[in-house]
Amino acid sequence: GAVVSQHPSRVICKSGTSVKIECRSLDFQATTMFWYRQFPKQSLMLMATSNEGSKATYEQGVEKDKFLINHASLTLSTLTVTSAHPEDSSFYICSAVRGSLNYGYTFGSGTRLTVV
């Protein structure tokens, strides 16, 4: 089945530093990837949609300069949290679409970011 590998699973960083999160589709080409953010006991909130070879589309209220998304190949999308602050601490999870299947959404295992 379709697998999306997300790394790291957990990261602790100091305030002011940047953190990069990677999502790789292992056995399929993901033309589109979605990045979500989830606070404890809350829903998944869509942050941005990334398409291979083009700029990401950010949801309203998401700072594009803070959350840099790069989708340089059909199997890799990265989210970089720049100049991280404690309020950026959250669970980040990616999702890749396999072609145009109606239900071809595969999720990464998520990254728990803690900014100290």
Q: How far is the CB of 47 from other proteins (least distance, A)?
A: 10
Q: How far is the CB of 22 from other proteins (least distance, A)?
A: 16
Q: How far is the CB of 110 from other proteins (least distance, A)?
A: 4
Nearer to other proteins, 14 or 41 (CB): 41
Nearer to other proteins, 66 or 112 (CB): 112
- State how far the Cα of 60 lies from the Cα of 17, in Å rounded to an integer: 24
Nearer to other proteins, 92 or 115 (CB): 92
Kind of pairing between the strands at 19-25 and 76-81: antiparallel
Q: Are 114 and 89 in contact (CB under 8 A)?
A: yes
Nearer to other proteins, 45 or 76 (CB): 45
Residues that bind other proteins in the complex, under the rule CB under 8 A: 31-32, 34, 36, 41-46, 49, 91, 93, 95, 97, 99-105, 107, 109-110, 112
Q: How far is the CB of 43 from other proteins (least distance, A)?
A: 5
